[in-house]
Amino acid sequence: MNQPLILIVGAADTGRAPLAAAMLRRLLERRNSTARVESAGILGHDDDPPSPDALAVAEHMEVDLRAHRARSLNDELARAAALLLAIDAGTARVARMRFPQDIDRIHTLGELAGRDRDIPDPFKMQIGPWLMYAREIEHLLEQALPRIIAFVPGTVPIGVVTPLAPTAPPVIAEARRAAAERTSQLLDLMLRIPGVVEWSAARDQVEATIVTATTHPAGPADLVAAYGALVRAALALTPAVPTTGQLTALRDALGRLEQPIAPGDLSAMSAQLGGWMAL
């Protein structure tokens, strides 16, 4: 029996793409899907192993990339795939130019998730951005899953998921998204160039972002109010000169506000709060 192939298309196929493939494979396995999920790149890094940062993040996300080796997207792979899921719009443009005959099966992760969002390439960044972007990829995959499944009909038992009737993703207010992105970038700047921003000013912006986010919930399932309270508690514990670990945790927490807050986010933030002074 032939298994439908979902191909995650990235740049070098050594970071975001194999991570996304491993996380999508896990999501589909939980729904008893028979689809194969693999990855390929457009930059020709054939046989390269995953980057050390990707391996570290994979371990944190509880997926295994150790056997992965990069490969290039070619005509044979493009023809074989039921869906070519590009990790970002730039990759999708290249794939559509190279394989115009397959353009109807080339989509970006953001498109299928109902989001105007590309996950940046964290190459040569610190581990914090890698973790943040890996979590965001996983959330986008969860949002895109009904539409992904629609490209491989018959791979999920009837009654588990309805491929042709995807649930619309929650709408995040642009003010909330912009504030969260701006503040997480500010904290990242403080991490990369210490002393360039006063903590008192950054703290005020963090507080303002919490206010913006909590006044723009994405619906009744969005636990942003409780999450905002936990972030405020973290701020109260943060000294006048924050540690690198505390700044990293705050940056990641603020970046998470670009998405609806789920129970798992509350649990993770609460657990982190318990060891805040040791960060």
The pLDDT value given to residue 168: 53
Return the residue matching tokens 């913006």. Answer: 212
- If asked whether residues 100 and 208 sit together in one domain, one would say no
- If asked whether residues 13 and 144 sit together in one domain, one would say yes
- If asked whether residues 143 and 243 sit together in one domain, one would say no
Q: If you write DSSP's letter for every residue of 13-42 in order, what string do you get?
A: SSSHHHHHHHHHHHHHHTTT---EEEEEES
- If asked whether residues 122 and 251 sit together in one domain, one would say no
Report if residue 168 sits inside a domain. no
The pLDDT value given to residue 267: 79
The pLDDT value given to residue 153: 63
- If asked whether residues 14 and 139 sit together in one domain, one would say yes
The pLDDT value given to residue 2: 72
Report if residue 267 sits inside a domain. yes
What's the domain count of the chain? 2
67 Cβ contact partners less than 8 Å away, ≥ 6 residues apart: none
- If asked whether residues 44 and 101 sit together in one domain, one would say yes
The pLDDT value given to residue 106: 93
CA distance 149 to 85: 12
Report if residue 222 sits inside a domain. yes
- The pLDDT averaged over each successive group of 10 residues in the chain (279 residues) is 87 96 94 91 92 92 94 95 94 92 92 87 85 90 90 55 48 88 91 89 92 88 86 91 93 91 82 87
Looking at the whole model, is its pTM more than 0.85?
no
Sort 54 into a burial class: Cβ within 10 Å, 0-12 / 13-18 / 19+: buried
CA distance 158 to 41: 33
H runs (alpha helix) in the chain? 16-29, 52-60, 75-80, 89-98, 109-113, 127-150, 174-192, 199-214, 224-237, 244-256, 263-274
Range(s) of the domain holding residue 229 = 174-278
